[in-house]
Amino acid sequence: MLHYLSLKDIDSLPNWVEEARSLKTNPKHHKGLGKDKTLGLLFFNNSLRTRLSTQKAAMNLGMEVIVMNFGSEGWALEYGDGTIMDQGSSEHVKEAAQVISQYCDIIGIRAFASLTNKEEDEAELVLESFKKYATVPILNMESSVGHPLQALADAITLVENNTKPKPKVVLSWAPHPRALPHAVANSFVEMMQRQDADFVITHPKGYELSENITKGCTIEYDQEKALENADFVYVKNWSNYTNYGQVINKDTNWTITLKKLGQAKFMHCLPVRRNVVVADEVLDSSQSLVIEQANNRTYAAQIALKKILESLS
């Protein structure tokens, strides 16, 4: 039984990308595979792309989909072991995960980082608790630590647009008014570590991501230098990791402009704040791949669901 919790669950990234591209040319080809199978999507946080593309992917595979906004429609969950549940939480994840496993053949979960409890976030409290107690496969629709469906879509997009044997890919931090999680950046780094590329991470000093994630990566604090001769520039804000969840820097000198981008292709997971993270001129140019990245979310979800379904039979 295959879970898709992180990129580590992919046996061969090139093969998954290849097969996803094949699904893209004929999305309904495996419509029989999901027949009489139910995908339950549990949202603990808001979602646009993940919500729609994962439903679309499941329907392409002939699955039935049940969507639930867990926070507003269900019961507040308890995760602690041995808790005397006389406070806010009405149901323990032990019961919830086992119960939902009886109604759904696969459970997708979106549960963002709290950005207040680093230890719980790093432990993937929600995702790992569901994995532990569920009896069916779990699909990560963005957890506190990673967003592997996004990274898989990014991998597809890179392959579709790359023309070089070893392209230069830069992950650049950009400013943002609110505290954002590290999940997208983490999974992008993990994905790049599986690519044959010249990969550079750039961000202001003090904005280092977890060393567990970036181990072995080149970090260049000078954005201009980092961007030199880049083929792909992946831009993303994240809040401070050391001063966990704080917004310490909003320096608009880090905003991506056409001049900074040079000849590179621009990538972002969306939603993106125009003229804060990146200038209009970039998003509205032909160098932007953001819409195609979003399109590839469908095929990322579809290949992940297909692999999981195949692991069930």
Binding residues for its own copies (CB under 8 A): 28, 36, 38, 40, 43, 46-49, 51-53, 55-56, 59, 64, 66, 68-69, 72-75, 78, 82-87, 89-92, 94-96, 98-100, 102-104, 177, 270-276, 280, 283-284, 290-291, 294-295, 298
- HSE-up (13 A, CA, CB side) for residue 33: 24
How crowded is residue 118: how many other Cβ atoms within 10 Å of its Cβ?
Answer: 16
Min CB(64)–its own copies separation in Å: 5
Rounded (10°) angle between helices 148-161 and 183-192: 50
Give the residue with the Cβ less far from its own copies, 131 or 273.
273
Is 37 or 307 the residue whose CB approaches its own copies more closely?
37
Distance of closest approach, residue 86 Cβ to its own copies, in angstroms:
5
Least distance to its own copies, CB of residue 133, Å: 10
Strand order in the sheet with 138-140: 64-69, 38-43, 106-110, 138-140
**Residue 49 is assigned to a ligand binding site:** yes
| Among candidate residues 102, 19, 62, the one with its CA nearest the CA of residue 307 | 19
State how far the Cα of 239 lies from the Cα of 248, in Å rounded to an integer. Answer: 8
In terms of CB distance, is 133 or 221 closer to its own copies? 133
User: Does residue 14 have a known ligand-binding role?
Assistant: no
* Minimum separation from the CB atom of position 90 to its own copies (A): 5
Q: Is 269 annotated as a binding residue?
A: yes
Give the residue with the Cβ less far from its own copies, 91 or 120.
Answer: 91
Length of the chain equals: 313
* Helix or strand holding residue 308 (H, E): helix 290-312
Q: How far is the CB of 84 from its own copies (least distance, A)?
A: 4
Nearer to its own copies, 40 or 146 (CB): 40
Q: Does 18 carry a binding-site annotation?
A: no
Pairwise CA distance, residues 113 & 209, whole Å? 14
Helix 290-312, helix 13-25: angle, nearest 10 = 100
Q: Is residue 178 part of an annotated ligand binding site?
A: no
Residue 283: partners with Cβ closer than 8 Å, 6 or more residues away: 266, 272, 274, 290
194 among the known binding-site residues? no
Residue placing its CB nearer to its own copies in the complex, 88 or 165: 88
**How many CB atoms are closer than 10 A to CB 116?**
10
In the bound complex, what is the minimum distance in angstroms from residue 208's beta carbon to its own copies? 24
Q: How far is the CB of 280 from its own copies (least distance, A)?
A: 6
> Is residue 148 part of an annotated ligand binding site?
yes
Determine contact, residues 145/122, Cβ cutoff 8 Å.
yes
The answer on whether 268 is annotated among ligand-binding residues is no
| SS3 sequence of 74-142 | CCCEECCCCCCCCCCCCEEHHHHHHHHHHHCCEEEEECCCCCCCHHHHHCCHHHHHHHHHCCCCEEECC
Give whichever of 28 and 166 is closer to its own copies, judged by the CB atom: 28
Classify residue 130 by burial, with Cβ atoms within 10 Å: 0-12, 13-18, 19+.
Answer: buried
Has 47 been labeled as part of a binding site?
yes
Binding-site residue numbers for N(2)-succinyl-L-ornithine are: 142, 176, 236, 273
Binding residues for carbamoyl phosphate, as ranges, are 47-50, 75, 110, 147-150, 269-270, 297
